[in-house]
Structure 1
Amino acid sequence: MTTRVTVYCGSRKDVPAGYLELAAEVGTAIAARGWSLTWGGSSVSMMGEVARAAREGGARTLGVIPRGLVGTELADDHADELVVVDTMRERKALMEAHGDAFLALPGGIGTCEELFEMWTSRVLSMHTKPVVVLDVDDHYRGLFDWVRELGGRGFVSRHALDSLTITGDVATALDACAS
C-alpha cells in the first residue's frame, strides 16, 4: 500500500510558472490522500513548491539533500525531517528506501537520471514499486519517443515499456502510484 511517495522534479529557479503550479498541485494531492512526501530537500523551484504544498495540506515531508547542494538549492529547513548526505548516490538510496512509489514531474538531467534508475531497477525486478511520469505539456515526449525507437531496434523490451506509467493528469498519476 502506498503511503510514501518519492517525487523527483526540477530545482532550477527559472522554470515557467506553470510547472511551479503543477508541483504545488501534486503536493496538495499527496497530502489529500494522507500520504507523506520524500523529495530532494530543496526549498526552491518545483522541489520547494511540492514540499510546501504537501506540508500545508498536512503531509509529512522528508527531504534528502547532498551537503554540496545545501547552499545552491537552499535546503528546506521547514521539512519535517531533512537529511544531509555526502553524495548523490546516498541521496538516491535514501529517497528510494523511503518511497512506496516514485513519481517524476518535469525536470532536467538530474530528474531523468533518477527516473531511469528507478525504472531500470523495476524492470530488473530489484523492486516492484510503481514508477510514474507526470508528463504535462509533452515535457518528456521527445525522450520517450526515443526510448520507443530503441525498443523498435531491440534495445528496450516491451516489458520495460509496459512497466512505466506515463500520464499528463495528476489524479491518474497518483492513482498509478497507489497500484
Structure 2
Amino acid sequence: MTIHSCAVFCGSRFGNDPAYAESMAQLGHGLAQAKITLVYGGGHVGLMGAVADSALKAGGRVIGIIPTFLHQREVMHQGVTELEITPDMHTRKARMFELSDCFAILPGGFGTFDEMMEIVTWRQLNLHSKPIIVLNVKGWANSLIQTLDDAVAQGFVEPETRGFIQVCSDVDAFFALVPSL
C-alpha cells in the first residue's frame, strides 16, 4: 500500500516535555519530504500547530479539517494549503478518515484518545484496513498501550484487533514503518 496522506491525531496543547513539539516538527518535516499530505484538525495551537507549521515550512501539503465552533473561536490555522470547515466533530473525523491513507496517533489528551478509538473501532468493524500507528514519544502512551493489552488479556479485545495498532517510539521508527505499509 502506498501512503499518499496521513491523518495525525494529537494535542492542542504542547504537553510538559519539549521533546513532544520537537518530535512533531520532525514528523511534519518528514511527511513533507516524503510527499505525504498531512491531514489534521486544522488548529494552529499546541502540537497540532507544530506539526502543521513544520510540514508547511518544508514545502508540504497540509489539509486542515476544523468544525465550525472551533473556527468561530479563531483557533484555525490560516496558513494551511486547504482548510475545510465542518458542521461538527463527527463530520470532522469522517472527513479526516476519507482523506487519509494511514493514521498517526501522537501525544495528546481526550480528543486524541477519542479519535484513536473511533478509527480502531471502524477497523474492527471492517470499515477500513488503513494502518494505525501510535508514535509513543517519550513513553507518553505507555499506560494507553498497557490498557489495550489488558483488554486482550481480560478477553474484551481479540488479539487480532489489538494487532491493528502498531507502536513505534520515535519519528525515525515511524518512517521506517511507513514504506513497508
Instruction: Describe the superposition over 1:63-96 as per-residue Cα deviations: whole angstroms up to 9, x where unpaired.
Output: 0011111254610010111111110001001100
Cα distance in structure 2, aligned partners of 1:167 and 1:74:
30
Native 8 Å contact 1:131 1:177 kept in 2: no
Structure 1 residues 13 and 133: CA distance shift in structure 2, 3 A? closer
Native 8 Å contact 1:65 1:83 kept in 2: yes
Q: Does 1:91 align with 2:92?
A: yes
> Counterparts of 1:1-179 in structure 2 under 5 Å?
1-12=2-13, 15-72=16-73, 74-178=75-179, 179=181
After TM superposition, give the deviation of residue 169 of structure 1 in Å. Answer: 1.9
Cα distance in structure 2, aligned partners of 1:37 and 1:13:
19
Native 8 Å contact 2:14 2:20 kept in 1: no
Q: Which range moved further: 164-173 or 3-12?
A: 164-173
Cα distance in structure 2, aligned partners of 1:145 and 1:72:
36
Which amino acid in the other structure matches residue 77 of structure 2? D
Cα distance in structure 2, aligned partners of 1:30 and 1:16:
22
RMSD: 1.5
Structure 1 residues 13 and 165: CA distance shift in structure 2, 3 A? closer
Q: What is the number of equivalent residue pairs in this alignment?
A: 179
TM-score, normalised to structure 2, is 0.93
Structure 1 residues 71 and 46: CA distance shift in structure 2, 3 A? farther
Structure 1 portions without partners, runs of 5+: none
Which amino acid in the other structure matches residue 139 of structure 1? W
Native 8 Å contact 2:19 2:138 kept in 1: no
Cα distance in structure 2, aligned partners of 1:153 and 1:66:
37
Cα distance in structure 2, aligned partners of 1:56 and 1:106:
21
Which amino acid in the other structure matches residue 89 of structure 2? M
Cα distance in structure 2, aligned partners of 1:138 and 1:166:
11
Cα distance in structure 1, aligned partners of 2:159 and 2:22:
34
Percent of pairs with identical residues:
32
